[in-house]
Amino acid sequence: MSAHTDLTRNQSLVLDRLEKAETPMSAYAILDQLRDDGLRAPLQIYRALDKLLDMGLAHRLESINAFVACAHPHCHASGLIAFAICEKCGQVSEFSDEIVRDRLAGWADREGFVVNRTTMEIRGNCRACAA
Amino acid sequence: MSAHTDLTRNQSLVLDRLEKAETPMSAYAILDQLRDDGLRAPLQIYRALDKLLDMGLAHRLESINAFVACAHPHCHASGLIAFAICEKCGQVSEFSDEIVRDRLAGWADREGFVVNRTTMEIRGNCRACAA
DNA sequence: GCCGGAATGTTATAGCATTACATTGCCGTG
DNA sequence: CACGGCAATGTAATGCTATAACATTCCGGC
């Protein structure tokens, strides 16, 4: 029941699942949970996810082939978001750092590299799981 | 003909291929090139890659499911390496930044997050391809 | 009403990675 | 030397992730 009225049915279903999940979900895990809603093929999930990623409402975690709802869906800001993924409990923290962003932008400038997209993922154990 | 005499046959074969490649290679691409050397199964490649990653002689690019030889195999240093991947020509630049490393370490400290591994990948176009 | 574009549905297939099990080779100890 | 253990290897089968290709439906603007 998210208030994303501009989304299509499939996109809403997928986003709702991601928002209710406590940990990242694979596309196939999402699909399994949406079979009762009539979804049957992976492509239906991937298409919805593509749009959600474009809109910044969800993120892809490259290092674990999974997806999460954006923790800050209001501010579409942030050209660079970092994720900390706990390998024990699966919890993901989303954060950003101006200085890191500036450093990477500086490197790209010097090298003449035109940036499309940056991924930054820290894997380890969260405070609770490290104890 | 790398001077990695401590490596097993399969590991040497895989590393040689990576070192000779101009762009990242998928495990299956490596396999295809090593069939003449007697390798037949993906697992043989993945096992060799696992060891090479452990030793820091190769890196995995999570965002494109591919592997590269480490550009600086001598210094095993660097807890944090960043990659810039050109989406046009496939060239990969490997670099590191002390300040970025410190910022991320600082975040982890404050959060009590124990880091195992960090991946940082910038995708875009290199100077030549952006022109 | 009609057209065009986006979203959807469906099937098949491509690409990436691991499980499970059998075998081999090597080294250190007794 | 025999033996035991361990790492590496070989092989087959399977599972997971993602996309291609094509047909259909939905919906808003003219």
Q: Inter-chain contact B119–A63, Cβ cutoff 8 Å?
A: yes
Q: Inter-chain contact A120–B120, Cβ cutoff 8 Å?
A: yes
**Phi and psi at residue A115, to the nearest 5°:** -85, 130
Measure in Å the smallest separation between the Cα of A10 and chain B Cα atoms. Answer: 25
How many domains does chain B divide into? Answer: 1
**CA–C1' gap, B61 and C10, in angstroms:** 33
* The Cα angle at residue A93 between residues B60 and A85, in degrees rounded to 5: 35
Q: How far is CA B117 from the centre of its chain?
A: 13
Does residue B4 lie in a domain region? no
pLDDT digits (tens, 9 = 90+) for B63-102: 999 999 999 876 655 668 999 999 999 999 999 999 999 9
Does residue A2 lie in a domain region? no
- CATH number, domain with residue A44: 1.10.10.10
Model pLDDT, residue A77: 58
pLDDT digits (tens, 9 = 90+) for A16-32: 999 999 999 999 999 99
- C-alpha to C-alpha distance for B35 and B44, rounded to whole angstroms: 11
Asked if B93 has any chain A CB less than 8 Å from its own CB, the reply is yes
Does residue A1 lie in a domain region? no
A75 is in an annotated binding site: no
Contact A27, A16 (CB under 8 A): no
Model pLDDT, residue A78: 60
Does residue A13 lie in a domain region? yes
Beta bridge partners of B68: B59
> Helix-strand-coil percent breakdown of chain A, rounded to 5?
45, 25, 35
Confidence class for position A2, pLDDT limits 50, 70, 90? very low
For residue A10, pLDDT beyond 80 = yes
DSSP element (H, E) containing B55: helix B42-55
Structural domain boundaries, residue A63: 9-130
Does residue B40 lie in a domain region? yes
